[in-house]
A and B are shown apart, each in its own frame.
Chain A
Amino acid sequence: MHRPRWTFSRWEPRSFSIAARLAGAVPLGYAFISVLATLLGAIVSAMGVAKADAVVLCGMTGFVMYLVWLIWAFSARSVALVYIVALVAGSVSAGLIWLLHMLAG
């Protein structure tokens, strides 16, 4: 069976690229999804849903979002893209949480 070559770049050894993908997908992805779930909780509660309900709703969806993320992260062609998405989207989400806090006063 032709195994897919997961490479960070064509010059990196394969074990490094696997470790890099694992680190990007699992812990970094988890951190990103956590921030995303927190942001969604803030947005849904700002939309009028009771705060505890909003948090629980978005916390529950967090597991499904993480699952979707993992499937994508392990099948994406470029490991670098996995890192970029996690870091950029995670930072943007964190920024939006802070922004919502400032607006709420």
Chain B
Amino acid sequence: MGHSFRKSMALLHTWAGVILGSVLFAIFWMGSLSVFDREFDRWMQPQTRLAFSEGPPSLDDVVAPVLKSVAAASPQLLVRLPTERVAHLQLAYRDADGQFVTRAMDPRSGRFVDDQGSFSGTGFFFPFHFRLHLNWLGLGYWLVGLASMAMLVLLVSGVVIHKKVFSDFFLFRPKKQLQRAALDLHNLTGVLGLPFHFLITLSGLIIFMQVYFPFAHLGAFGVGPAASVAFQKEATGRYARPPSGTPGALMSLDALIAKAEHIWPGGTASLVRVWHPGDANGYVEVRRSYAQDVTMNLDQVYFDAGTGAVLHRFEASPIMGIQRFISGMHFIQFDHWGLRWLYFFAGLSGCVMIATGFLFWLESRRASHAKRGLAGVRIVEALTVGSVTGILCATAAYLVVNRMLPCDATFAGQSRAELEVWVFYCAWLSTWMHAMWRRADPISQPARKAWREQCWAIAVLALLAVVLNSVTTGDHLFRTLARGDWQVAGVDLMLLLCAAVSAWAARRVTRLSRSPNSARRPAGESRPAVKPSETSHA
């Protein structure tokens, strides 16, 4: 049969890549953006561009009044304390109508920030990354899980089919034909980033262990809801006490935070939740920050709301701690700008790896599909353009529309935040349609028009986003840099860089299509003796 391990791995690598490459690119792109989700939040919600406080806020001064006013009827009040990257307090409660509300509060004045009407980084980019916003039946989770397993298989099979791992590692021939250059870059980003790509994918799966192996506890804990609850309690800690119905006092939250921090050696609080406020059975949950660790600890203390007595205390057990460490390697919630940037560029290298994989597949199949009249290259090329430059265009459009919509915009029953998302998807859809409209005809040549025009669109939209930020908020680059607001300045600077790179890419595609060397030469034909100069072209 001529069947060999390496050949089956080559086939597997090709097919898994072509079928799931688009999903993987979206995951890697949104994941890279999510590294700076808080920065996008700050950029897209201008009223949250508060100055960072020197010390921790006094919850008794700013939060306790909320329990008497807007959250008076709420069974719980959740408070997330400011961090190195988030200047405001985040409060969550049920309002007087029973609606679940999340609001930002200035920790120095206690005033609520107006609802900015945007999902931004943490509300759009980040959930897109792990469940593609496909919530029906959890389909998004399963597609991401499938794509993630495919990614691991792609990495392993990619290594197997590699004959000369180390010599290819040092090889990048950008001036060569597109097929060779694409393969070189694909191998370079694949090999150079291999530890990252493998660990980021595996750690992502491990985070959702309970989604992907929901029956794992059946052997050790038994069947039934009681077993499931017991597993949750043992793994992640859980304390609950029903309300008594009689009124009770709430003691100082600041004192309880201090007590919790005293219990944890060297720890600081990150989250405070008041359960059954105003009830005699009320209690206060305090959770510990993991800004200084990789492990996303599960340290939690529960205090009686009236007396401050410790009701329950939990820390993760050793192996659960390992799962939380691995999760922490993926979530990167720790304060470390150097590592954060490294993750960002590593994620982008994953995007390059996927995109160049597509390009290589297209170029290596182009001639044979053209000759045999097959539709493969035509379909995959439109798919690639929409998946790569398309999603980048849609992202830039999302940022632009964020700056353009008025604060109270609604349309057809959709909130402002939802309208922004509509624009994202409509922009993305139009890039697919553009890719099909501008497809290569005949397919013996790459779809340069599609690539070039979408690259220009990205460049224009990214630049427009920076300009609109300056116009609508007054926070132009000199101002943000002067006040040391590197988060907003960083987004602007990266957008400018993105515009520059996209414009360069568009021009490079243009130069390639003008040069006679761009046509693929069949093997055996020699190059012309005299190289035509660029000035001879119009």
Contacts and interface: CB of A to CB of B under 8 A. Distances in A.
Interface in B202-261: 202, 205-206, 209-210, 212-213, 215-222, 231, 234-235
A62 B219 contact: no
A4 B4 contact: yes
A55 B216 contact: yes
A38 B218 CA distance: 6
Interface stretch (B151-159, B173-181, B305-313, B345-353): B151-159
Contacts of B12: 74-75
Counting contact residues on chain A (CB < 8 A from B), the size range is 35 or more
B473 interface: no
A90 interface: no
Given A4-B7, A67-B152, A70-B153, A59 B220 contact: no
A70 B1 CA distance: 21
A49 B320 CA distance: 12
Contacts of A84: none
A4 B3 contact: yes
A45 B9 CA distance: 36
Given A34-B216, A38-B218, A63-B202, A56 B235 contact: yes
A86 interface: no
Contact of B219 (A38, A50, A63): A38
B149 interface: yes
A24 interface: no
B8 A74 contact: yes
Given A50-B234, A53-B317, A41 B3 contact: no
B5 interface: yes
A interface majority secondary structure: helix
Nearest to B216: A59
Contacts, number: 126
B153 A37 contact: no
Interface string A13-45: 000000000000010000000100111111111
B317 A52 contact: yes
A1 B18 CA distance: 18
A59 B492 CA distance: 42
A56 B220 contact: no
Contacts of B157: 71
Contact of B3 (A43, A55, A77, A100): A77
A45 B230 CA distance: 14
A75 B326 contact: no
A52 B235 contact: yes
Contacts of A100: 219
B2 interface: yes
B215 A51 contact: no
Contacts of A41: 216-217, 219-220
Interface of A: 1-6, 26, 34, 37-45, 49-60, 62-64, 66-67, 70-71, 74-75, 77, 97, 100-101
Closest 4 CB pairs of A and B: A42-B219, A52-B234, A53-B319, A45-B220
19 contacts: A4-B4, A5-B1, A5-B2, A26-B146, A38-B218, A42-B219, A50-B234, A50-B317, A51-B217, A52-B231, A55-B231, A56-B320, A56-B323, A60-B323, A60-B326, A62-B212, A62-B216, A67-B153, A100-B219
